[in-house]
Structure 1
Amino acid sequence: MVNKFWLEAKNINCFKDGFRVIKDLNLKIAYSENVILIGPNGSGKSSLIEVINRNIYPVITNESTLKIFDKELINLWELRKRISTVNNDIKNRINPNLQVFDLILSGLYGRYCYISNKSERDLYEVENIMRNMKISKLSRKNFSYLSDGEKQISLIARALINKPNILILDEPIANLDYKSQFFVIDKINELSKLNTKILCVTHNISMITSIYDRVIMLKNGEIIADGPQNKVINNKNLNRLYEIDIEVIKKNGFWNINRLTKGQL
């Protein structure tokens, strides 16, 4: 029988710099679902991405198991082909004069630079992904000339060029103005038509749109709520997650937060 889960974690604990950043994690994520992982800064969201990408390793015990694509030991090259991650650090690696077309094409080679020996197949793949994401007009723009929202979408297109099974988006609207936030959110929503499934990691509730089958709340390295968004997104869970007095309202398909009392650190 084919395993329906690409991620299976049982009783997983992880440490970074002497601190336990993942605590007794039990989590399964199916190939069929788009998932959004939400939590405040320092909740362990980025650490979980590092566990998935094999940048940090869990403590091994007889009671713990971590399987990715049904394998406890997985070749890192296979992992990189099947999971693409977009985070905000990537922007610092890119030559500002690199054109968007060449940036996306570089994803086929696992690099962030101009590729001189392009094949006809390479060109087709880039044109196809840009057409599907409706960003063909950006093709010949230098990366430095793009808006912050356009930069983020160009990096997502680059991540998708190899047709990964899973796309991990790490805080995709962090540090963006409202116009860029809405642009990126709308483009990510359009990705739901592709075969790649999304694991979005954020602290911003406005990222939670209808494409996500499941919401997971993470606090202090532990899952405190997990399920369909209409069951998980409520005042009680969000007050516990962020430790502030708020109410949540869904309007026009988007979740919004209203503050009820002054916050305290």
Structure 2
Amino acid sequence: MSLEVSNLCFSYGNRLVLDNINFTIPNQQLLSVLGPNGVGKSTLFRCILGLLNGYSGQIRLNGIESKNLTVKEVAKLVAYIPQSHYPSFNFSVFDMVLMGTTVQISSFSNPGKRQIALAKAALERLEIEHLKDRGYAQISGGERQLVLLARALVQEAKILILDEPTANLDFGNQIRVLTQIKSLVKDGYTVIQSTHNPDQTFYFSDTIMAMKNGKIIAYGAPSEIFTEDLIQNLYGVNVQIQSLYDDKFRVSIPKSIVDLEL
């Protein structure tokens, strides 16, 4: 399942937010969109999801122009996992996941055996089946992100869009969530995520798209474009990139810390 964006531009009034965005994500790839707040990452996602239609350019989902698709047809191709979610009611974890199957049934139908089986399988896959009877509002932030990921899986869409999936999570939960996301890519999903963490971006991504002022300023494999100059350009901080374990992992360290240690 591929995602192709061509010559995409979008404005809020007179303010240009997306300026001629072009990229393609082939099947079974994880693209991380890296950049500071306010560069257009969330607006880009809303355009892809069909929530914003006043754009110019083209967005193709598996070769189909998204403007020609209904909301339900888009939902069968793309699932969205928000950064955080606080429902009005304390639904059980199982019911939260089961809600992802609504695209498969009519407005006046109840989930059937197939939908229930999908929900159970998603919980087991993400190793959170022990939470199924817990209230969604009463579990940790990391567990909630896994629940939202499970809800996206039962939607059976093969393109996943994640808005900062590890925001506000502790280090252990960040790794657990990203490991599950990476395993989904290996199993045939196409994933695009926004992030503020350069180190995680380098380690988990197949491709990085760096954005600034509504434009793409760098695009490619992490090892090719991930530089000290890029981080300085994006975030206005000086860093030194250190390579460990024969370049299998790299970490960005602020220069002031490096100097202090030296």
Give the TM-score normalised by structure 2: 0.85
Equivalent in 46, 51, 57 of residue 50 of structure 1 = 46
Partner of 1:95: 89
User: What whole-Å deviation, never above 9, does each CA across 1:123-180 have from its counterpart, x for those lacking one?
Assistant: 2111111122222111221112211100111011101112211011101111223333
Contact 1:216/1:227 (<8 A) preserved: yes
Q: 1:33 aligns with which of 29, 33, 36?
A: 29
SS in 2 for 1:208: helix
- CA gap of 1:94–1:80, structure 2 versus 1, over 3 A, is farther
The answer as to 2:239 corresponding to 1:242 is no
Is 1:8 equivalent to 2:8 in the alignment?
no
Is the Cα contact below 8 Å between 2:103 and 2:155 reproduced in 1? no
Deviation of 1:194 (Å): 2.6
Partner of 1:227 in structure 2? 220
Matched residues in 2 for 1:152 and 1:129: separation?
13
* Consecutive unaligned residues in structure 1, runs of 5 or more: none
Name segments (4+ residues, structure 1) moved above 6 Å: none
Instruction: Indicate how the Cα distance of structure 1 residues 17 and 254 shifts in structure 2: closer, same or farther if over 3 A, else same.
Output: farther
Partner of 2:196: 203
* Distance in structure 1 (CA, Å) of the matches to 2:168 and 2:13: 27
Identity %: 26
Structure 2, unmatched stretches of 5+, are 258-262
User: What TM-score do the two structures reach when normalised by structure 1?
Assistant: 0.84
Is 1:178 matched up with 2:171?
Answer: yes
The number of aligned residues is 250
- Alpha carbons of 1:5 and 1:191: their partners in 2 closer, same or farther (altered >3 Å)? closer
Give the secondary structure class of the aligned counterpart of 1:163: coil
Task: Give the stretch that moved more between structures: 220-229 or 241-250.
Answer: 241-250
RMSD over aligned Cα atoms: 2.5
Letter in 1 for 2:3: W
Counterparts of 1:140-151 in structure 2 under 5 Å?
140-151=133-144
